[in-house]
């Protein structure tokens, strides 16, 4: 039986770094996103919005023209373009809003180059198939169906809800990565067998695009905490995302809440951070 650590509000507060007079936009963390597609340009918008709202000092978007235009229309602070070689990057977010089946060879090569680097990488959706053998510290963020596909690709047996923790550890160990398994109770497992559970959200978060928002939050926190354990940063990001979801939905102090859309969660991130730090 694997011991599961319950993540708390206090644990999250430790990993939210308040900027000081000595900080600049680079020291606060540089996030780069290679997300979205012509089919799903909104994923790029949601991820970049969330990265900014979660406290990143500098956000760069690298992707298709349609998605890039949408990002600039929404967040003109974002630097859009493929020339990242001159810019420091502390954390990447890749794969959100993309489909591995329609990925070009050039895109595959670009993603593999990111995974071969030294900056932490949040790997979502259409990039999950590239995770094995990465040099970079990798955080995989599958939902249940994507997780099942990962296990199949790794020739691991199907798992059930009762053994989610053990199954997450198996995948993390097989890929030498950290796994954030999304769900009503999110599990984070690393290759060493540590498992953290985060139960800070609301069922109103079960709506399209909230996973893209989570990716941006994770990228921002990883960029701001380059020396912290990836699993702990992931847990903090999941907790913060859940808290923002509750605030956005009005699901606080016993209230049932109301429907939300993904951008509502991103908009609520500053309030969630202020509440946590108060």
Report pLDDT for 124.
98
Of the pLDDT bands very low, low, confident and very high (cuts 50, 70, 90), residue 83 is low
Of the pLDDT bands very low, low, confident and very high (cuts 50, 70, 90), residue 191 is very high
pLDDT of 97-154, one tens digit each? 999 999 999 999 999 999 999 999 999 999 999 998 889 999 999 999 999 999 999 9
Cα separation of 92 and 114, whole Å? 8
pLDDT of 148-190, one tens digit each? 999 999 999 998 888 999 999 999 999 999 999 999 899 999 9
Cα separation of 194 and 191, whole Å? 7
Report pLDDT for 89.
95
Report pLDDT for 261.
98
Report pLDDT for 159.
87
Cα separation of 75 and 137, whole Å? 28
Which pTM value belongs to this model?
A: 0.96
Report pLDDT for 200.
76
Report pLDDT for 104.
95
Report pLDDT for 149.
95
The yes-or-no verdict on residue 84 having pLDDT over 60 is no
Mean pLDDT of the chain: 95
pLDDT of 50-65, one tens digit each? 999 999 999 999 999 9
The yes-or-no verdict on residue 226 having pLDDT over 70 is yes
Cα separation of 15 and 17, whole Å? 6
Report pLDDT for 156.
94
Of the pLDDT bands very low, low, confident and very high (cuts 50, 70, 90), residue 82 is confident
What are 16's two structure tokens? 């939210």
The yes-or-no verdict on residue 85 having pLDDT over 60 is no
């Amino acid at each position: 039986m694997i011991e599961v650590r319950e993540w708390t509000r206090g644990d999250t507060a430790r990993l939210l770094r308040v900027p000081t007079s000595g900080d600049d936009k680079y020291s606060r963390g540089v996030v780069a996103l290679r997300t979205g597609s012509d089919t799903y340009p909104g994923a790029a918008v949601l991820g970049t919005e969330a990265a900014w709202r979660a406290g990143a000092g500098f956000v760069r978007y690298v992707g298709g023209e349609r998605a890039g235009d949408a990002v600039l229309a929404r967040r003109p602070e974002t630097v859009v373009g493929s020339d990242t070689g001159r810019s420091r990057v502390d954390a990447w977010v890749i794969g959100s809003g993309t489909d591995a089946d329609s990925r070009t060879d050039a895109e595959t090569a670009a993603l593999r180059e990111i995974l071969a680097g030294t900056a932490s990488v949040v790997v979502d959706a259409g990039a999950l198939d590239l995770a094995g053998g990465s040099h970079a510290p990798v955080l995989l963020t599958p939902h249940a169906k994507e997780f099942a596909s990962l296990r199949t690709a790794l020739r691991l047996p199907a798992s059930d809800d009762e053994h989610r923790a053990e199954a997450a550890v198996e995948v993390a160990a097989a890929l030498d990565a950290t796994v954030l398994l999304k769900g009503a109770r999110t599990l984070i497992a690393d290759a060493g067998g540590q498992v953290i559970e985060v139960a800070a959200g609301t069922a109103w978060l079960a709506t399209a695009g909230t996973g893209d928002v989570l990716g941006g939050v994770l990228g921002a926190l990883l960029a701001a905490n380059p020396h912290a354990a990836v699993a702990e940063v992931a847990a903090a990001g999941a907790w913060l995302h859940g808290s923002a979801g509750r605030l956005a939905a009005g699901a606080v102090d016993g209230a049932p809440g109301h429907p939300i859309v993904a951008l509502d969660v991103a908009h609520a991130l500053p309030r969630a951070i202020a509440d946590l730090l108060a």
